[in-house]
Structure 1
Amino acid sequence: MIQNPVLPGFNPDPCMIRVDDVYYIAVSTFEWLPGVRVYESRNLAEWSYCTDILTREVNLQGNPKNCSIWAPQLSFHDGLFYLMYTDVKSTKRPFKDSHNYLITAPSIRGPWSEPVYLNSSGFDPSLFHDDDGRKWLLNALWDYRITEGNKSSGIVIQEYDAERKALIGEPFKLFDCTPLKKTEAPHIYKQAGYYYLITAEGGTGRGHAVTVARSRELLGPYEVDPRNPMLTSSDNLELELQCAGHGSLVETPQGEWYMAHLCTRPIDGEYAILGRETAVQQVYWDEDGWLRLTSGGYWPLMEVPLPQGASLSGENISDFVDEFDGHVLDPLWNTLRVNASEEWCSLSEKPGALRIRAGESPQSLFRHHLVAFRQKDRSFRVETELAYEPSYYLQMAGLMLYLNEDNYWYAYASHEEGLGRVLRVMRCEKDSFVLEPTVIEAQTGSLVQLAVDVEGAWGQFYYRLQSADEWLPLGEKRHIGFLSGGFTGNFIGIGAHDMNQYQGSYADFHYFRYQGRD
C-alpha cells in the first residue's frame, strides 16, 4: 500500500509527472533555498530526494515571509523538461507582485537554461503542450479591483512561442471561479477527446479542494463536474489528512491514474506544525468521463493501493545525521533567501565541522545565516555540538526551531557582561519577542551541546557542557503551536548571528542528528 503523506513535512503544491518508468514530484520552497525541490519514485509509494532546481537563478533577499517560490509546474515534451515557477516579491493588498518564469533542461538534474520572464498577472503558472505542437501558458488571474474576498478571479491562458521565447497573442480568460472561489493551480490534461482543467479552489486552509472542468475545445467553454469538488477534506474535521487540494495527475504504464495533492496533518486537530505535505490518491475516469477517487466519495485516504506490478523495498528512513565530514553540504539542508556558499557556510575551513560565519539578526530578510532541515515527524529529537567564543551580547549561535521571521524559538550561546559566555533562549511568537529569563554560565573554551525534544505541540530545549554526562533543561517546556500557519512549515536549524559586525564571528558545528519518533 501507499502510506500517506508520501512526502511528510514542508512539501506543498506538488506537481507530479512520469517520464518513462520514473515518477517525479516538484514542490514549492517559498523563501527556502535551493528552490523547487524534486523527489523521484518508481512505485509512487517510496520517494527519495532527486535534485533542487533553482540553485542560482533567483534572488530572494528581502522577500517577505510566505512569498518567493510558489507552485512549480514540471512537464516533459520532446525530450526536454520544462519548469514553470513564480517568484512572489510582495503580497501587500490589494496587489500581488508575482513574476512567472520558464526554464528548460535536457535532464531533470540540469543543466537548466536561463529563466525566461513571461508575465506577472497572477501566480501558479502551468505550461500545456497541445497535440498540434502549440504551447499555452495558464496562470491564476489576480484582480485588484475586487473589493471583498479573495482576488483570485479565475484562470487566464495565452500562447507561448518557444522559438521566440515569448508570449504571443492576447491573454484570454479561460475559466471563472466556481462558488468555492479562490481559483488557482491550473493544469490541463487531454483525455478521451476532452481538455480537462484541474484547479485548486477554496483557499489553502480548511476549505481547500480540487475542482475539475472539461471542454471539447482548449479555449472552452468549460463545464464543471456536476459533483464538484472532486477532492476535499473541508466537511470532515475527523480526517487525518486535512486541507486536501492542489492536485496533479499521472498515468502509469499499465493505464492506471493517480493524483498527487497537498494536505496537512494538524497536531491536536489545530496546529499544522509540519506544514503542508504531499499525498497520493488513486483515481479513475468514470463512465461519464469524470475524474473520481477509486475509493469513492471525495475524502483523501491515508492508505492507497500500489500500481499494478509495483512492490515496496521496505526502506523508510526518517532519521538524518550529518557529521560534517564531507566536502559539500548534504542536499537535504536548506538556507533562507541566500544560497549556502563557502563565504559563510564552509566545510573546508575546519575539517570535521561546519563553520557558519555569523549573519544578520534572526529576523533578517537578507542575510540570515541559518542552515536548516525540514521537520518530518510529529515527534523528534535533535542534537548538535558547537565551538563558539562570543565576546559581546550582540553575538550568538545555536539551535533554532524556525517557521518564519515572526515565529521562531532559539537556544543559543552568547556573552553577558560580568558572566562571560552564557546559554540563553529567545522566542518570537506571532511577532511578539520574548527573551526567556534562564541564563546558564558556560565556561569559555569548552564545547557546548544543545538538543531539543518535540512531542506533538510541546518542546523542550536541553544543554550539556563538555565535561558533563547528563542533559539538563534549558529554559521551560513550551507549547509550540505558534510554529504553524502560513504557507511553510517548521524547520530545525543551526545558525550564527552577529549584530555588531556582519560575519565578525563564527561558530563551528561538529554534528547534527535528527531522530524522528512518529
Structure 2
Amino acid sequence: MYTIDWFPGVQIHESKDLVHWQLITHPLDTVTLLDMKGNVDSGGIWAPDLSYADGKFWLVYTDVKVTNGAFKDCVNYLTTSESIYGPWSDPIRLNGVGFDSSLFHDDDGKKYIVQMEWDHREYHHPFYGIKCTEYSVEEERLLPETGKIIWRGTDVKLTEGPHLYKIFGKYYLFCAEGGTTYAHQEVVARADSIYGEYEFQGETFLTAFESPDNPLQKCGHGALVDTPEGEWYFAHLTGRPWHHETESIHDPRGWCTLGRETAIQKVKWTEDKWPLIVGGKQGSIEVEAPKNITLHPYDPNYLIKDDFEEAHLNIHFNTLRVPFTEKIGRISNSHLVLRGGGSLTNLHDTSLVARRWQSFELEAETRLAYYPTTFQQMAGLTNFYNSQHWSMIQITWNELNGRVIEVTENNQGVLTSYLKEQAIKVPKDVEYVYFKTKVKTSSYYYAYSFDGKEWIDIPVTLDAKILSDDYVNQTNGGFFTGAFVGMANVDYSGYDLEAKFDYFVYEEK
C-alpha cells in the first residue's frame, strides 16, 4: 500500500483467506531505501508494486518530488528480499520516466518494467502512454533502448497504474484511467506479444463514475490475483465519500476523509477470455469469499492504548518524511518525548507522530506535560492532512495567562486561532493536561481535562471535509492520504523545548 510522504514507506498487509487482513511490516524503513526530507505534500511513495519470483520478493516503488505544475519529477527504485520482513537490499535506481511502475516476470525468464510516461510539453497530454522496458537482472539496470510505448489508453486519458499478466497464452494489460477522483476507472487490453499491438476490451472493466449512489466511489487502479482453487479477484483503490445533510449526494460527490482505501472484487472470465467484475463494474461492498477456505481472523494488532512501554513506535505510527530518530524525539520512562521542531507547515523539520483515521467515527486521547514560555511553542493533539490542512488542540503560552490551552486550524494555508484571549489557563499545580478528539464522520471537536475524569468540550465544531482528499484537491496537486491523528510538538523559536506524552489512545466507534 502506498504511504505518500509518511515514513516508514509502504504498508504490507497479510491475509490467509482474502477476508481478514493484518498490517505486518513497512519495508522502506531506512533513509538508504527512502529519503523524503523536503518532499512536497503528497509526494513520496506512489503506487508501489510487490511481486514474488525466483525465490524472493521484488518491490518497485516511486519517490515523487514534484506534484504541481508541468513536471512530475520522480525516481523509481527496485529492492528485493528473500523474506517479506526483510532485510531489503539497497535500492537500485531504475529511472524517472514516470510514476506507477510495476515489474512483470515473463515465463521465458525475462523481466520488464511497465510504467506511465510523463510528458511535460504543454501541447501534449501529460500522460503520454504506458511504456514497457526490459530489466537486466545481471546488470541491475533497465535497458532503455528496449523501451516502447505499448498502449496509449482510451479517450478518458490519464492512463496510469499499469499491471501486466500472462494468462491464457496472452498478455493482459490492466490500467487505471480518469485520475484518482470520481472519474477513476480500470480498463483492460491484451496482445499476443509483450510489445503489442494491444486490443482494448471495448468497455470499462471497473468504475463507479456512472453510479453516483454506489457506496464505493473512485474505483480503479488495482491488481489481479488468482486463488489455489482457480478463482480470480481484483484488489483496487476506492473511496467512501460522505455528505453534509445540506449537500446533494451527487454534487458535490462527497468528501473522503479516509483517503484512498482498498477494496476487492470477484472476477469472472467471458467465453472469449475477457475479465468482468462479478456484481457489476461499479464494485460491491460485500463480495463472495473464496470457496473451500479456512477463515483466519487476525488480532487487529493495534493497541487501543499505547503506554509507550516498548523501545520503538508501534507499527501503526508514522512520522512525516523522515524516520523517528533523536532529532524528532525518543521513548523514555514510558513516555513519548517529542523535541520541539518546526511548525506543522514545515517540510523539513516536523516533530509529529501520528496514525491514520481508519473509521468515520473514532476517538483519540493523550496526556502531556509541557511548559512553554513563548507563543512560538505549542504541543498537543492534532488531526492532520498535510502542511496546509490540519487542526490542533495545544498547550501554548500567551501574555495574559502564561500556559494556556488553544485550538488552531490551518485551512488552505490560513491559520485560525479559535480561543484567542479566551484561551484556557492551565493551573500552576497541574503537571499533565489531558486532550481528546472525537470524530463524528462530518465533524469533529476537541476536549480537555486537568484530572482525566472531568472532561470539558471546547465549543468549536470543526468541519471534517477540510481533512478530505476532495477538499485538498481544490488547491493542491497531491490529495491521496486521508486524515491522520497524533501528537505534535512545535517550537519554531528554535529552543527545542520538549513535550512528554504519557500515552496515546486510538479507538474506533
TM exceeds 0.5?
yes
Return the match for 1:342 from 322, 326, 329: 326
Report the counterpart of residue 369 of structure 1 in structure 2: 351
What CA deviation, in whole Å up to 9, does each residue of 1:452-471 have, x standing for no partner?
A: 111111111000013x7321
Contact 2:111 2:136 in 1 (8 A): yes
> What is the alpha-carbon distance in structure 2 between the residues aligned to residue 482 and residue 499 of structure 1?
25
1:44-443 aligned at under 5 Å gives the runs 44-56=18-30, 57-147=33-123, 150-168=125-143, 169-226=145-202, 228-268=203-243, 269=249, 270-295=254-279, 297-313=280-296, 317=300, 320-348=304-332, 351-437=333-419, 438-443=422-427
What CA deviation, in whole Å up to 9, does each residue of 1:414-438 have, x standing for no partner?
A: 1112311100011011222111124
> What is the alpha-carbon distance in structure 1 between the residues aligned to residue 123 and residue 446 of structure 2?
46
1:511 shift after superposition? 1.0
Structure 2: gaps spanning 5 or more residues: 244-248, 470-478
Contact 1:29 1:36 in 2 (8 A): yes
Report the counterpart of residue 12 of structure 1 in structure 2: none
The secondary structure found in structure 2 opposite 1:482 is helix
Partner amino acid, structure 1, of 2:486: G
Contact 2:341 2:489 in 1 (8 A): yes
Contact 2:103 2:112 in 1 (8 A): yes
The secondary structure found in structure 2 opposite 1:199 is strand
> What is the alpha-carbon distance in structure 2 between the residues aligned to residue 101 and residue 512 of structure 1?
35
Report the counterpart of residue 474 of structure 2 in structure 1: none
Report the counterpart of residue 502 of structure 2 in structure 1: 510
What CA deviation, in whole Å up to 9, does each residue of 1:359-408 have, x standing for no partner?
A: 11111101111000110110111111111111111111000000000100
Contact 2:401 2:425 in 1 (8 A): yes
Partner amino acid, structure 1, of 2:221: H
> What is the alpha-carbon distance in structure 2 between the residues aligned to residue 337 and residue 290 of structure 1?
41
What CA deviation, in whole Å up to 9, does each residue of 1:106-160 have, x standing for no partner?
A: 1111111111111111111111111111111111011112437x51121011111
> What is the alpha-carbon distance in structure 2 between the residues aligned to residue 347 and residue 145 of structure 1?
49
Cα 1:121/1:315, change in 2 over 3 Å: closer
> What is the alpha-carbon distance in structure 2 between the residues aligned to residue 102 and residue 422 of structure 1?
49
Kindly indicate whether residue 2 of structure 2 is the aligned counterpart of residue 28 of structure 1: yes
1:93 shift after superposition? 1.8
> What is the alpha-carbon distance in structure 2 between the residues aligned to residue 423 and residue 310 of structure 1?
53
| Structure with greater strand share of residues | 1
> What is the alpha-carbon distance in structure 2 between the residues aligned to residue 179 and residue 320 of structure 1?
47
The secondary structure found in structure 1 opposite 2:65 is strand
1:475 shift after superposition? 4.3
Report the counterpart of residue 475 of structure 2 in structure 1: none
> What is the alpha-carbon distance in structure 1 between the residues aligned to residue 123 and residue 210 of structure 2?
28
What CA deviation, in whole Å up to 9, does each residue of 1:322-372 have, x standing for no partner?
A: 111122211110010111123432113xx1111111111111101111000
Report the counterpart of residue 10 of structure 1 in structure 2: none
Partner amino acid, structure 1, of 2:235: A
Contact 1:275 1:484 in 2 (8 A): yes
Same amino acid, percent of matched pairs: 38
Contact 1:424 1:474 in 2 (8 A): no
1:277 shift after superposition? 0.2
Report the counterpart of residue 499 of structure 1 in structure 2: 492
Report the counterpart of residue 4 of structure 1 in structure 2: none
User: Aligned pair count?
Assistant: 484
Report the counterpart of residue 458 of structure 1 in structure 2: 443
> What is the alpha-carbon distance in structure 1 between the residues aligned to residue 458 and residue 432 of structure 2?
16
1:91 shift after superposition? 2.3
Partner amino acid, structure 1, of 2:480: F
> What is the alpha-carbon distance in structure 2 between the residues aligned to residue 34 and residue 314 of structure 1?
26
Report the counterpart of residue 432 of structure 2 in structure 1: 447
What CA deviation, in whole Å up to 9, does each residue of 1:57-116 have, x standing for no partner?
A: 111111111111110000111101111111111123211101111111111111111111
The secondary structure found in structure 1 opposite 2:26 is strand
The secondary structure found in structure 2 opposite 1:195 is strand
1:316 shift after superposition? 6.9
Report the counterpart of residue 470 of structure 1 in structure 2: 454
The secondary structure found in structure 2 opposite 1:304 is coil
> What is the alpha-carbon distance in structure 2 between the residues aligned to residue 113 and residue 173 of structure 1?
30
> What is the alpha-carbon distance in structure 1 between the residues aligned to residue 69 and residue 494 of structure 2?
35
Report the counterpart of residue 472 of structure 2 in structure 1: none
Partner amino acid, structure 2, of 1:87: D
Structure 1: gaps spanning 5 or more residues: 1-26
Contact 2:21 2:298 in 1 (8 A): no
> What is the alpha-carbon distance in structure 2 between the residues aligned to residue 391 and residue 172 of structure 1?
61
> What is the alpha-carbon distance in structure 1 between the residues aligned to residue 56 and residue 211 of structure 2?
41
> What is the alpha-carbon distance in structure 2 between the residues aligned to residue 81 and residue 313 of structure 1?
23
Alignment root-mean-square deviation, CA: 1.5
Contact 2:22 2:298 in 1 (8 A): no
> What is the alpha-carbon distance in structure 1 between the residues aligned to residue 72 and residue 119 of structure 2?
9
The secondary structure found in structure 1 opposite 2:121 is coil
Kindly indicate whether residue 484 of structure 2 is the aligned counterpart of residue 484 of structure 1: no
Contact 1:319 1:516 in 2 (8 A): no
Partner amino acid, structure 2, of 1:288: D
> What is the alpha-carbon distance in structure 1 between the residues aligned to residue 197 and residue 69 of structure 2?
31
1:313 shift after superposition? 4.6
1:319 shift after superposition? 6.9
The secondary structure found in structure 2 opposite 1:302 is coil
The secondary structure found in structure 2 opposite 1:54 is coil
1:446 shift after superposition? 2.2
Report the counterpart of residue 473 of structure 2 in structure 1: none
Partner amino acid, structure 2, of 1:453: K
Contact 1:337 1:367 in 2 (8 A): no
Contact 1:425 1:475 in 2 (8 A): no
TM-score by length of structure 1 reads 0.91
1:449 shift after superposition? 0.2
Cα 1:229/1:319, change in 2 over 3 Å: farther
The secondary structure found in structure 2 opposite 1:204 is coil
